[in-house]
Amino acid sequence: MLELNAATVAFSTTGGPIVRAVDGVTLTVPAGQFVVVIGTNGSGKSTLLGSIAGTVRLDSGSIHLADHDITRWREDQRARLIGRVFQDPRAGTAASLTVLENIAVAACRGRRAGLSWATSRSLRAAAAERLGSIVPGLETRLDQPIGSLSGGQRQIVTLVMATWHKPDLLLLDEHTAALDPAAADRVVQATARLVREHHLTALMVTHSLAQAATLGDRLLLIHRGRIVLDAHGAAKRRLSADDLAYRFDRLRSADQLDESAARALTVLYV
């Protein structure tokens, strides 16, 4: 289970006001729930994920994961509990290492250091089985540098790496945004399958309203650092991409009105 209590992250802007990228967010995600997170540009989606992963520190509030208070844990400490896939297919892997060697790094995570072959026969067999079951033929490329794979294939391998030890939480930060539509669709299908088969708790940030409407058990709409929509169950299933587009338009319109009001006040008091 993931629990955020009044989580707040604030940034100061040059010559401007303090911006609360995460504004007092309280959220409970039960174990095994697949949550999709959407929001307008600059709404705080990625900052929220970063605060959970440990790349961004909370200014106030707390984060608990799997019965641990991880609020003050470093990013590398949280990595024992969290798997993560980034937007850039090159992130999280070493381009010069082979596919199998990259998987070996993920498989060794959390193990006590010692002298043994990381790329054992058993690991090779397990890696071939996992990759081949998702993308038939990808298991034949275990000995090739991962940098030689396409972006979609590399994200599939990264997904397998991130879920190798069935993490307590899987974070997906727009992990299909840099892919062409066909590759993005394959990665989305692989994501849904791995989350379902391993009963993973997952948070996925996406800009795709189609993905938001069709994926996951729950949907969060973030705006100005706050959760403005939390839909799950029947309410989530009723949402369509058009419904979400309408909500986005309303938020953008409200922002434009706020900006107009701010400009009017500036003129008034100058």
| pLDDT given for residue 161 in this prediction | 94
153 in Cβ contact with 93 (< 8 Å) = no
Nearest to 52, CA basis, from 85, 19, 30, 79? 79
The whole-angstrom separation of Cα 197 and Cα 203 is 16
Type of residue numbered 238:
R
CATH code, domain with 84: 3.40.50.300
Q: Which helix (H) or strand (E) holds 36?
A: strand 34-39
Spatial strand order in the sheet of 218-223: 82-85, 169-173, 202-205, 34-39, 218-223, 226-232
Question: Mind listing the pLDDT tens digit for each residue in 15-54?
Answer: 677 888 999 999 999 999 999 999 988 889 999 999 999 9
Q: Which residues of the chain have pLDDT under 70?
A: 15, 110-119, 257-270
129 in Cβ contact with 139 (< 8 Å) = yes
| pLDDT given for residue 268 in this prediction | 36
| pLDDT given for residue 231 in this prediction | 94
Q: Using alpha carbons only, what angle is made at residue 131 by residues 136 and 140, rounded to the nearest 5 degrees?
A: 65
Question: Mind listing the pLDDT tens digit for each residue in 160-174?
Answer: 999 999 999 999 999
- Longest Cα–Cα distance in the chain: 74
Q: What is the reported pTM?
A: 0.88
How many domains, in total, are found in the chain?
1
Q: What is the dihedral of CA 49, 55, 57, 62, to 10 degrees?
A: 50
Terminal Cα-to-Cα distance of the chain (whole angstroms): 51
- Specify the residue for token string 């060794």: 108
- Domain of 190 in residue numbering reads as 2-269
Nearest to 202, CA basis, from 32, 7, 85, 69? 32
| pLDDT given for residue 216 in this prediction | 93
